[in-house]
Each structure stands twice: as structure tokens, then as C-alpha cells.
Structure 1
Amino acid sequence: MVERDAAPLIGAALIKDQVKRLPDAPGVYRMIGDDGEVLYVGKARSLKKRVTQYAQGRFHTQRIALMVDLTRSMEFVTTRTETDALLLEINLIKQLKPRFNVLLRDDKSFPEIVIRRDHDAPQLRKHRGAHSIKGDYFGPFASAWAVNRTLNTLQKAFLLRSCSDSVYDSRTRPCMLHQIKRCAAPCTGLVSLEDYGALVDEAEAFLRGKSRAVMAKLSAEMQTASDEMEFERAARLRDRIRALASVAQEQQINPESLEEGDIIALHGEGGQACVQVFFFRGGQNWGNRAYFPRVDKSDEAADVMAAFLGQFYEDKPIPKLILTNVEPADRDLLCEAFALKAGRKVEILQPIRGEKRQLVEHALTNAREALGRRMAESSAQSKLLVGVCEAFGLDAPPERIEVYDNSHIMGTNAVGGMIVAGPEGFLKNQYRKFNIKGTELTPGDDYGMMREVLRRRFARMVKDEEAGEAAPRPDLVLIDGGAGQLAAAQEIMADLGVDDIAVVGVAKGPDRDAGLERFFMAGRTPFMLEPKSPVLYYLQRLRDEAHRFAIGSHRVRRAIDMKKNPLDEIEGVGPGRKRALLHAFGSAKGVSRASVEDLAKVDGVSQALAQRIYERFRK
């Protein structure tokens, strides 16, 4: 009698079997489905007790029941404390993006302001990313607009330099910013480094919330200057005070009772949610931003708020106080985890009266209005995607559309651009640019450029899929061009085995007139859409966005190339010798005209190096 292998355990049966070997200790568990897809990541004070609940087969929602049914394996990590488990859970959710977790989307970094302290004349500038520069950092600001507005104010009020060190070191006379009274010009000695340092200290005090003390000090100085008949100095101080006062006038809310904190309000409706975040630092409103986390209609508001807070502050500075309209689940545990990361006490409160309550209500109103706008836009977007489906004969409305375009000037600095759109509009964090690298291409060969871009994009997708990794696959590819571009695209797609993706060429009308575009698809004669069709307008927007992105990427690359110095390409010419050569001959062009003897007279340039430089410019 032949014994058959027992069927592998799945779902609740598998979980029940796993429970037998679990410890009564804190940790993180992962539920994994077919093809290694992570379905859910959770944390527990006791792994054994928490996972036992899934094994019992009694679920609050159909969504949890579906998750259990789809489970094919589980993974566990024990931790020292429940706080460690929470931090690990947050990290894994952001990294793995499980299907059944509440997920924060569009999580971009925030700009900050930094006062650099690694120079005798500290520089004021915008900053993103790690704090790798020695200096004082202030933020986060909700948007580039908010940080630019504050920088503009600081320049008017404190006259701090914003130029790079190389520009600073090369100045022999004040720049335009000094002429328009936005820089004290320490580069040329118009202000002593000691007096400039006092301006830097005032700017730092203002950003730390001591704006009233700074304005009072300036007002006293203005009065003194006026009493001493120094009316020009008094006028300059008056202008600086006006710049600082304008900050309070521009901001809609400047609370008296909130020195530092974030206001976070959650509003859910129709299976969707919006979280509005307001930033207050130094008693000033530094802007707000709306987030739309991925949620399920069965998710409790407290769970959504807890998941949002954990993921939001996973890679951002945590303020001393977080005010919310919904008390998050495991509030005390979150406070403990945040305090561990921040190195100080962090409070999460749900205010019930007073000014703080008004701030939360204001944020909630913004969240409600933002979600209403998004739902209206989503409805219109869904209709457009249905129209695209009908126009191109697709099986279903596309969830992901990729649009490609190239940009170059006579074949130089060629760049390919890819933009992505879907039911939620443009997905700008998924845009990609491709610097054209093919050495066999004839300059200006648009077909060859398109082949290279598509080959690189879809070869990477195929590689990721073969490795079992999640790779975004488009439902529709739009390319800028007609029959020739379509044939080039189909050739590459067929070679890579991804010819099941719909590809459409969009050719501009006669004289590049919008509204007269012709569309090219395999197996169909070229066709046009109704001139005033909303779907046509939508496709035009997609094409124009791809064109804008490709041109922007091309201009950036061209600007970088224009700034390159031919001396950089010569072996043995480092920053010091380059500076000496430019100082001796005025420019790279002057260096190119110099004789070997003249070149050898420059400090640090040997006879052999002088010969190498001379020959390099005469190739």
C-alpha cells in the first residue's frame, strides 16, 4: 500500500499548528500567502495568545476571515519588549507594504531650514534628507512653498547669506542680494564676522520661537537710531521688523498655547480616510499636508490613527506634543516608543476644550474637505479610465498607465521620461528618467532612444518578477509617436516576452494641433477620438505631463554638463591645481591657449602635467 503525502496545512489549520510552538513573549508575526506575498504584519505582547485568536476561527470581519484563508505560512520574530515589537512592526509595514495593513501612502520627505555652522559666515538654506552637515536644523515644513516663504522672510529680516561657499570665496564685490537688502555681504567685509554672527543668533532665536523678543530688540534699536538722527539705519531696522511681522499676518493660525507640536486629525467616509497634519514649531504655523492612507471600511478609527502615527514618525523628527481628534489604539505604548526614538518625553493627547481643541477642530475641517474633494476627483477619474478602456478596447479600466517621451537637442543630453497615472491621478513618486547611454545610437535617433528606454524599463520588471519580487506592471503603455515608434516599442516588448501589455502610439495632429491626435494600435487602423471628448483631453494631459517631465530632466542634465570644466577630465588636476590654473589664466579657455612653458610656471604643475594639459586641449 502506497502512502500519500499529507496535504500541506493552510489557513486556520496552519495557524493552529504554529501556535503549538510559539512562546508567551512579545514579538512580531507575518502572515504570508501564495508566492511569498506578505499579507499582514502584526505585533503582540504575547505571540502565543495573539496568534491563538486567529486559530479559533471566530472573526469580527469578513476581511480578517479572508486573510486567514489566504495564509500559507507564517514567520515570527521575538523581541525583548512590546515597545521593540511595535517599532519592528512599523518598520516592516513600511518596507513590505502588506495588503491587509493600514498603509501610509505618498510618504515624502519634508524640507527643513539649516543654518550651517561649518563656516565663519554661516549659510542659510533649504535642506532635505539626513542631518549630515554641522548646523542648526529647523523643521519640518509642510511644503517647499512654506519653507521658501520663511527663507524669504529670514533673508529680509536678518540679511543672512544663501550663496554657496565657492561663490562666497570668489566674490570681490557685493552681489545683487545685497543691493536689494537681502544679504549683509560678509563676503566682501561690508559687515564684520562678529556683527554677522549676531544676525545669525537673532535668526536662530526667531526660528526657536523667540520672535517677540527679537522684534522687541529690533524696535529698541530702531528707536535708538531715530533718537540719534541715524534715519537710514532706523529705516533698515523698520524694514526688518516689517518682514518679521508679515509672518504673523500671513499665517492663519498662530496659537498662544502651543510652542511645539503636531495637530493630526482623521476623517473617514465611504471606505476612505484623510489625515490632515499641521506643523507648529517655535509658536509658528509651518504649514499642513493631507494624507490618504489605504484603509478598509471595517477598520476602527483608533487603529487607523495608531497605524498612521507609527508609520508617519518612523523616519521623521517627533515633536514633544501630538494632538489628535481620535485617541490612537495603544496610546501609551506609542508614547513610550516615540520617547525611546526621540530621547525625551513625547505626549499624545486628545484635547477636549480650549485653544488646542479649536486647533484640532480646524484640522478636522480641513481633513473632511480634502476627503470630499478627493472622492469627487476619484469619481471623475474612474469615469475617464472607463472611457480609456472603451476607446482602446481593453479588458478592464487600466489601474496603471505608463507614458513615455524623449527629449534632446540634436541628440545631445538625451533623456527618456516615464510618468505614471492611475485611479488616483498622477503617481509622481513613481516617475522615472532614463539617461540615454547607447553608444551605437545615431544622434537624434528617436526610435533607438525609445527602444533603449523600454528595454531597460521592462527588462528590470521581468527580472524582478522572475525573482519573485513585487514589480509594478502597467495595464497600458502610451508612447509619443506614430507607426514607427509603435513598431519599435512592440519589437522590444516581444523580445522581453511582455507583449500582453497594451501599447498605444499617440501622434500629434497636423501642425501639432491639439485635438487632432491620431492613435496607433496593433491590429487596428489609425483612428481619432471625438475632438471635444473628455477622454481625449485626459490623454492629452498624460502626453503633456510626460513631455514636461522629459524636457525638465533633459534641462537638468544639460545644465550639469554646461557646468563641467574640461580641466576636471585631466588626470592629475585636482581641486587645488584647478583653482591655481584658473587663477593664473582666468578661465578654462585661457588655460587651453597657454603654452607648455606657461603652464609649468603655475604652482603645483610639473613639466609632465603641463605637457598632458597642453595635449589634452589640442586633441
Structure 2
Amino acid sequence: MTETTKQTGPAVIKRFLRTLDGSPGVYRMLDGENRVLYVGKARSLKNRVANYTRLQGHSGRIRRMISETASMMVLTTATELEALLLEQNLIKQLKPRYNVLLRDDKSFPNIMVTKSHDFPQIKKHRGRRSEKGEYFGPFASAGAVNRVLNQLQRVFLLRNCSDSDFESRTRPCLNYQIKRCSAPCVGHISAPDYAGAVRDAERFLRGETTAIQEKLADEMSRASAEMEFERAAALRDRIKALTNVQSVQGVNPQGVPEADVIGLHIEGGQACIQVFFIRANQNWGNSDFYPRMAEDNSPAEVMEAFLGQFYDNKEPPRMVLLSHGIEEGDLMTQALSDRAGRRVQLLVPQRGEKHELVQGALRNARESLGRKMSESATQARLLNGVAEAFDLPAPPARIEVYDNSHIQGSHAVGAMIVSGPEGFEKSQYRKFNIKDADLTPGDDFGMMKEVLTRRFKRLLKEDPERKSDLWPDLLLIDGGAGQVSAVRGIMRDLGVEDVAMVGVAKGVDRDHGKEEFYRTGQRPFALRRNDPVLYFVQRLRDEAHRFAIGTHRAKRAKAFVANPLDEVAGVGATRKRALLAHFGSAKAVARAGLADLKAVDGISDAMAEAIHAHFHERG
């Protein structure tokens, strides 16, 4: 049977049902081209899949899904809990069209106090908690962490420098001068006193603020009584900074020491979920999410999908407060408790302080969704304007903008940004390190050719049928007729001639507002100076330029601090530090003889031979 005549619908599911039993597991529904339509879990696969053997009694979304189903796949599991975890993993991996999908599953930063040094460092940490230390968080944003770290330095005078900086200091740094560090690197504070400051900082981050304030107030009173007015003033400033930290935390619940507060608001077929992080009786910020859903998804479905995907790579707190209950609360509670290694409560509070916290999250979700819907309407009008201005058949769903950045050809990079109905899609941004060694320095045409060739060759390989949403409807090129002609030639060589492209040139005065637009085979034209579409195109071009410049600077900075020892296999931070301490520079290490390398503490004979071979075989 060919792909075009492959049978779909309830009859396919009925045939598949005969192969199933009552085991728990996960099922996948696939269309005629083996694309995953839906991933679901079941306590009994046979009973659950049987529900799909008829079209009646389902919502329009489910009826469409059943009608498109051409085959199914199942994975049995030992328990329903395993099925739940597997389901959420597959949803995140496969992104099926008919599932509720959390589109922005980012990690959140923490504050970390290191434990591998006599004088611990306090710093921001994101990602896996693999480094030895005490972690506090999560915080809603890097900005929230930075604000708290800034104030904590004022209060507790803990260092934020790296261990290597600490070891190399011979005199205090600027943080000591501005009273944000006690300078343990040069012995201005003893190890026991510094350890006491670390304990106080950790107590504060656990919410034990009253005792710390009382302790600082007593010290200030004693200093004042002993006429140590400078020390008293410093303690006064530290108390003030501590008060500032508490004030920026916003609403600090007294009866909820640790919880995530999750509010869901659905309107017009769209959803917003607000998550507030309560830790140590303090509000450590909030973040919003806009899951992909269908109009007929219930709040319980959206909330359950969100919980499973949100906590897939995060440790849940002891309590999760919800605005809407979910159907399988006991199963989700067990899954979250297993992930945390302790009991986790899922609650839908109806009164008291917990209910007020949930209502606050709901209010923020409602307001955030209102703002997003307003922005989406504005974006839709702008995309309609782009289609009209550039004679496109329909408003573009994906606009790609390209730019290059280099300094006289060095550290050259290409950059691509993407915009669509939801605004800038930063997860789709791409950077391209220019690899062609034969390019003339500063050859923008050559760089653009390499970038576009790599971009579209990969796209043609991964999606030759153009069935994904990764194909652009419009390319914006920085430049005039020459650039547009060159890009058209590149695209023709690739066999991609039906993607609209527009060149954006600065105009005769190279002034914002006088841009000229170039299209193949047509006269250049300009938009009215106050045209919203003109401002929109300017924002797109400026964003591409910003991203390209940032990428170039990062590459240049990395090259600037590059060390030849980084290229030697097996030489990590500790061995590199030992080699540099012994020889003084990487160049001296490269020139050293084998016997001298073997004499370095921490460098084995085998490693010395590897280092010697690395440098001498190359040269």
C-alpha cells in the first residue's frame, strides 16, 4: 500500500487494539508520514486505546487526531508512574501536534556557597548541582539573583572572585575598597570570622533574618558604646542593606516556608501560567509561560501537562500550590516526590494565606496573557503590513534576518535571527563561525554565501519536503541591489528560488528613516518615514546587528584569553595551574624539556610525556 493510499482513522486503531493487553504504558499516534500526532499514557493500554476506536463522544481536536492516525506505537512499563515519566519525556522530545506543550522550558539560576575552599565563594549558579556546595533557589531570573548577591555582599562581605583569582591576589581588590568584601585573600579576616559570616549568609538565605538583624544591631551598639564610630557606621550600612534585600522580595508569606505557586489563566484559546518561587518564607520572583494548547484543552489537562514537563529537569519544592486541580493528582504527587527524594504536596487551597498566594499568581497570569494577546494583535498587524509592503501572498510566519560581524576579517561570524507571529523567536537564533580560510578578509559577499549555503543545505537535508515550520517566508538582507543579486544567485545554486527576499539599504544619507528596499527585478522603493512597517524592519535589522556583534565579541574575547595548554588532552584547571606556577607562562611550558615537565608537582611521567609530545610534535 503506498503512502498516498495509507488507511487512517478508527479502523486502523481497531486493528492495532487487538495486539494490546491491560499493561500500563505509553502510546504514540502517528500520521501517514510517521510523524507523531499525540503521546499519551495509560494504566491499561487496551482500555485507553479502545476510546479512540470511534469518532463519537470526542472533542473536535480529538476527532481530527483520530482521523489522521495511520499507525500506532506502544511502550509498556512496569507501573503507571513509569508511564507518566516516559510520556513527559517523549512529549518534550517529539513535540507532538495534539499535546499540550511547554514551549519555554528554561533552567533557573540559584545562589551557591562553595564548600571546596577554606574561604567559600558566593556566586550565581545555573544548571546541574554537580559542584560541591550549598544551593539556594531557584530564583526567577538572573537579574533577581544579581540583586540579591549584590546586597548580600554588602551585608556579609563574602568574596565572589574565582579560586584562581583568590590565590593570585597580593593586595585587596576594588570590592574591598567599596566595602563589599572582607579581603580574605590577603588575610584581612581570619578563617573563623569568615566562616561565621558564611553561616550568617546561609541562615539569611534559609529565612532566619530576625536573629541576624539582632546580632548586627547588638554589634553596632557595642561599637558605638566603645566609640568605634567607623565600625558602627559600617554595621549600620550592613543592616540597611539587609533590610533592602527583604524589601525587594515583595510579598513574604509567613506560613509558607517553601513552595512553588502556580496560577493558570486560559482565554481565547491561549494560556498563561505564572510560577512564583517561595523559598525561606521569601518571594524569590516569578516567571511566566505560554504553553501550546488547543481551544478545547481543559485547565486540568493544561496544568497536568505543565507540571510533568516543568519538573522534568528541576527539583520540586516541598509544596506546590495550584490554581486548578488535575485528574491524577496522586500519581503526579508520587512522581514529584520520587524526583525530589522526599514528600511533595500538591494542593489547591481554598482559603487562607495559601489561597491568597494562588490568587496573586492567577492575577499575574491574567494580566500577562492580556498583554501578550495585545502584543500578538500588534504583531499580526505588522506582519500584514509587511506582506502588503513587499507584495507577499500572505503575512510571513517566519522572517529570517542575516548579518555578519568581523574586524578586518578577523573572528568573522554570521548571525541569523528569526521573527514571527510571537515576535522574536530567540530559540531559533543561529550563529555561524566563518570557516572558509580562502575568503579575502572583509569579504561580506563571501561570508554571506557561506552562511546561506550552510543554512539551506542543512534545511534541504532535514526537511526536503518543506513540511516543518523551519522554512522562512521572507529573507531580509542587509544591503542593496548587489547583495540581493548575490543572494539570489546563491539560492538559485541551491535550488531554492521561491523564498521571498528583500534587501534593506541605509539610503543616500545612511540615516534611520530613509532606508531603501530592493527586490529582484524591481525598482528600489522607500516607505513613509512614520510607517509602522518601517520601524518594524528597523527593529529586525537592529536585532540582527546586535546578535551578530555580541557573537563576534564573545568569539574575540574567547580567543583573547585562549591558552595553548587548553588544547592539551588531560590538562585541566588543576594541572594547568601547577604548570603555570612552575614555569611562569604557557610559552615556557611549550619550550620545556621532558625532564623539567616531570619535575612539576602533580604531573605524572605519562602526562609529562603527553604534554611534551603535544608541543614538540606540532612544532
TM-score (normalised: structure 2) = 0.92
Asked whether the equivalents of residues 6 and 32 of structure 2 are also in contact (C-alpha less than 8 Å), the reply is: no
Give the Cα separation in 2 of the matches to 1:8 and 1:615. Answer: 61
The letter for the 1-side match of 2:157 is L
Query: CA 1:508–1:94 in structure 2 vs 1: closer, same or farther (change >3 Å)?
Result: same
CA distance in 1, matches of 2:465, 2:131: 39
8 Å contact kept, 1:43–1:86? yes
Give the 5 Å matches for 1:517-596.
Answer: 517-565=515-563, 575-582=577-584
Cα distance in structure 2, aligned partners of 1:523 and 1:313: 53
- Equivalent position of 1:268 in the other structure: 266
Q: CA deviation at 1:179?
A: 0.6
- Correspondences of 1:84-483 after superposition (within 5 Å): 84-466=82-464, 472-483=470-481
Please state how far the C-alpha of 1:524 moved relative to its aligned partner. Answer: 1.8
Could you tell me which amino acid in structure 2 is paired with residue 220 of structure 1? D
1:580 alignment partner AA: H
Measure how far apart 1:577 and its partner are.
3.5
Q: In 2, are the aligned partners of 1:406 and 1:416 still within 8 Å (CA)?
A: yes
Q: How many residues align?
A: 606
1:60 to 58, 67, 81: 58
Displacement of 1:355 after TM fit?
A: 1.2
User: 3-state SS of the aligned residue for 1:295?
Assistant: coil
Distance 2:100 2:278 in 1: 26
- Say if 1:410 and 1:235 are closer, same or farther in 2 by CA, change over 3 A: same
Q: How many angstroms does 1:569 deviate by?
A: 7.4
Distance 1:595 1:210 in 2: 56
Contact kept, 8 Å, 1:28 with 1:76, in 2: the verdict is yes
Work out the CA distance in 2 between the residues paired with 1:218 and 1:129.
34
Q: Judging changes above 3 Å, is the alpha-carbon distance between structure 1 residues 5 and 501 closer, same or farther for their aligned structure 2 residues?
A: closer
Task: Return the letter of the residue paired with 1:197.
Answer: A
Between stretches 247-256 and 312-321, larger displacement belongs to 247-256
Work out whether residues 447 and 484 of structure 1, in 8 Å CA contact, stay in contact via their aligned partners in 2: no
| Amino acid across the alignment from 1:397 | P
Q: Which residue identity does 1:457 align to in structure 2?
A: R
2-structure distance, mates of 1:368, 1:596:
66
After TM superposition, give the deviation of residue 570 of structure 1 in Å: 9.5
Paired residue type of 1:33: D
The residue identity in structure 2 corresponding to 1:91 is N
1:469 Cα deviation after fit: 9.4
Residue 301 of structure 1: how far off its partner (Å): 0.9
* 1:548 alignment partner AA: R
> How much has 1:470 moved relative to structure 2?
5.2
CA deviation map 1:369-422 (0-9, x unaligned): 111111111111101101111112222111111111011111111111111111
Q: Deviations over 1:70-122 (max 9, x none)?
A: 11110001111111111111111111111011111122111111111112211
Unaligned runs of 5+ in 2: none
Contact 1:30 1:74 in 2 (8 A): yes
Q: Shift of the alpha carbon at 1:139?
A: 1.3
TM-score (norm 1): 0.92
Matches of 2:23 and 2:597 in 1, distance apart?
75
SS in 1 for 2:394: coil
- Rounded to whole Å, the distance in 2 between the matches of 1:395 and 1:106 is 31
Distance 1:596 1:32 in 2: 62
Going from structure 1 to structure 2, the CA distance change for 1:602 and 1:28 (only over 3 Å counts) comes to closer
8 Å contact kept, 2:3–2:33: no
Q: Structure 1: which 5+ runs fail to align?
A: none
Please list the CA deviations of residues 437-494 of structure 1 after superposition, one character each: whole Å capped at 9, or x if unmatched: 1101011000011111111111111121259995721111111112222223222222
Aligned residue type for 1:77: L
The answer to whether the Cα contact below 8 Å between 1:251 and 1:285 also exists between their aligned partners in 2 is yes
Please tell me the residue identity of whatever aligns with 1:219: A
Moved more, 31-40 or 496-505: 496-505
Name the amino acid aligned to 2:34.
Answer: G
Range moving further from structure 2, 499-508 or 44-53: 499-508
Match of 1:490 in 2: 488
1:251 Cα shift? 2.6
CA distance, structure 2, for counterparts of residue 511 and residue 402 of structure 1: 26
- Between the aligned partners of 2:107 and 2:143, the Cα distance in structure 1 is 14
Shift of 1:499: 2.2
Q: Matches of 1:615 and 1:290 in 2, distance apart?
A: 55
Q: How far apart, in 2, do the equivalents of 1:213 and 1:537 lie?
A: 55
**d(CA) in 2 for partners of 1:601 and 1:106?**
49
Root-mean-square deviation (CA, aligned residues, Å) is 3.0
Asked if the contact 2:418–2:426 (Cα under 8 Å) also holds between the matched residues in 1, the reply is yes
Task: Return the letter of the residue paired with 1:581.
Answer: F
1:22 corresponds to: 20
Give aligned-pair identity as a percent.
56
Give the partner amino acid of 2:434: I
1: CA distance, partners of 2:243 / 2:120: 24
3-state DSSP of counterpart to 1:449: helix
CA displacement, residues 564-609 of structure 1 (integer Å, 9 cap, x when unaligned): 35676799995533333337xxx97xx79x9999xx9997699xx9
